[in-house]
Amino acid sequence: MALVLSVLEKLQLKPPHSTLSTSCFIIITILCIILKFTRRNKLNNLPPSPPKLPIIGNLHQLGTLPHQSLKSLSNKYGPLLLLQLGQNQALVVSSAELVEEIAKSHDVAFSNRANTKAAKVFFYQCKEIGFAPYGEEWRQKRKFCALELLSTNRVKSFQPIRENEVSMLINSIHEACAKGSSVNLSKMIVATSNNIACRCIFGLRFETISDDDDDGRKSLGEVARKMLTQLSKLGVGDLFPSLDWVDVLTGFMSRLKVTFAELDAFLEEVIEEHKRKKRNNNDNNNSKDFVDILLELQEKDMLEFELTRDTMKALLLDMFVAGSDTVSATTEWAFSELVNHPKTMKKVQEEIRRIVGEKSMVEENDLNQMNNMKCVIKETLRLHPPGPLLIPRETANSVKIKGYHIPENVTVYINEYAIHRDPKLWENAEEFIPERFEGNNNNQQIDYKVIDFKYIPFGIGRRGCPGVSFGITSLEYLMANLLYWFDWKVPNNNNNDSGALMIDMNERSGLTISKKKPLYLEPMPYFSKE
């Protein structure tokens, strides 16, 4: 009653004697509302929720880097949170124990996707595997991608592409060395990883189509960058479905459709060009890209699902999004950490140079022996996962987690950033210590495949990433070459043993989490490349 009277006072509704009956009615009404919601929450036993504001709920608490904000909220309110984001409910999971229960006991219930307007537009109403709803058709497509596009043998077949693109990168850095200049390593890494992905998927480099084409068509690079930026944004209708019309008035939907039309035109041209080459017998059977493989399987009509033109284009875009930014972001973070920890960099370089010797190039077979570099990559993915909240899921039905009632149609965010930095699971959790992944300690079972749920850089369960081998192979080969051919230092900073961090490690939010400031380094040739 005291709480109700306090509310009335704040609303300047102090009950005078003359209006006693009216005041009593208001008090009883408020009490009934409070009791109704209290009883409902008690019966449902919903997970804890931070205080929220009217209309927007907990949106104001997400900040510019939601994975960090949600980690702070979980530290305060618990590892299982139910948030109100506009008109939608969202569940945030921030502990390995809860993730293990979801994966082992409720994986099917948590296997749907919570799709945004941008995802539906760009992926042809989600006809691929990353954002498609869970079901039989999705299972068939995922199986197909794992066996035909992302298998170990297929990844090996792309070795010449990786070698060629990385060789061009190394040559460009040698040219910069000759001029005595520093390089924007971030930009170079992004370009190389995008070119590798594009050549494997589309059969052409990222910037192959010229900006100066007679028809005014934009380059793939320009359109793809715009698509990746828009894919990371939410429309008003994503948060407030009843205000869906606002996205039409603000032009949000029209911007998505313009970008989609440009992408669709590019994909149509790529597919038609591949078909022309096949008709003219100009295709090289020893270097098939994803488009070649899809067209061949479509022609044989041996798939368990209908491979329509839209499905084909959606799958191609899916592979590109998954295989480009993640590799470049991880490489960028790894080099930033190594520059900040020069002793670790020296240790890794000594191992790589001992294994490779003075060969004219790093061979992919050498990578299996580079244990220190693999530990650096694993530790980088622990501290800086490219997608720290994974791809959002959605509950297909209501379930019980640790005694809490989880409603259906709730968006689910698994905060791997919080799990990877949990001090209960990791000693010195905030520090960069690659040695924690060495085989002679208690963490020897930790790998990219989820065995221990405290380390989930590629997701969990049915919705785990099927392209681990594709991404890791490109990442390892790129890093090994950069560390083999050059020593690296921060421009105008010769004091690498001071113990102070020389590289700014602040984050920039997007589809993947990358460095806020580009990584500028000065390369010094260790071998002359002839």
d(CA 89, CA 518): 36
Q: What is the CA radius of gyration of the chain?
A: 26
Give the dihedral of Cα atoms 30, 35, 36, 42; nearest 10 deg. 150
- Res. 439 pLDDT band, cuts 50 70 90: confident
d(CA 174, CA 154): 31
Please name the residues in contact with 196: beta carbons below 8 A apart, sequence gap of 6 or more.
158, 161, 162, 165, 327, 474
The position carrying tokens 């929720």 is 49
- The rounded mean pLDDT for the chain is 87
pLDDT at 11 over 50: no
d(CA 218, CA 196): 20
Please name the residues in contact with 111: beta carbons below 8 A apart, sequence gap of 6 or more.
134, 393, 396, 461, 462, 463
Mean pLDDT of 296-315: 91
pLDDT at residue 492, as a whole number: 79
- Res. 30 pLDDT band, cuts 50 70 90: very low
CA atoms within 13 A on the CB side of 368: 2
Residues 78, 104: contact at Cβ < 8 Å? no
Angle, in degrees to the nearest 10, between helices 325-340 and 468-485: 40
d(CA 108, CA 396): 8
Residues present in the chain in total: 530
d(CA 239, CA 117): 10
d(CA 407, CA 161): 47
First CA to last CA distance, the chain: 85
Angle, in degrees to the nearest 10, between helices 185-201 and 290-300: 20
Please name the residues in contact with 42: beta carbons below 8 A apart, sequence gap of 6 or more.
none
Mean pLDDT of 27-47: 56
pLDDT tens by residue, 474-500: 999 999 999 999 999 998 765 555 555
Biggest alpha carbon–alpha carbon distance for the chain: 98
Please name the residues in contact with 366: beta carbons below 8 A apart, sequence gap of 6 or more.
352, 355, 356, 480
pLDDT tens by residue, 165-187: 999 999 999 999 998 889 999 99
**Beta-carbon count within 10 A of 190 CB:** 23
Q: For residue 339, which amino acid is it?
A: V
Q: What is the tally of helices (H) and strands (E) in the chain?
A: 20, 12
pLDDT at 53 over 50: yes
pLDDT tens by residue, 233-284: 999 999 999 999 999 999 999 999 999 999 999 999 999 999 998 888 765 5
Q: Among 48-57, 93-102, 237-246, 299-308, where is mean pLDDT lowest?
A: 299-308
| Pairwise pLDDT comparison (493 vs 395), residue with the higher score | 395
pLDDT at residue 527, as a whole number: 72
- Res. 300 pLDDT band, cuts 50 70 90: confident
Q: Which two three-digit tokens encode residue 178?
A: 């000759």
Torsion angles phi and psi, residue 184, rounded to 5? -85, 90
Nearest to 456 by CA among 411, 370, 390: 390
d(CA 478, CA 357): 17
- Res. 19 pLDDT band, cuts 50 70 90: low
pLDDT at residue 451, as a whole number: 67
Mean pLDDT of 313-338: 93
The H or E element spanning position 93 is strand 88-93
Instruction: Tell me the DSSP string of 365-376.
Output: GGGGG-HHHHHH
Residues 351, 370: contact at Cβ < 8 Å? yes
User: What percent of the chain stands above pLDDT 90?
Assistant: 73
The H or E element spanning position 39 is helix 20-44
- Res. 4 pLDDT band, cuts 50 70 90: very low
Name 521's bridge partners: 183
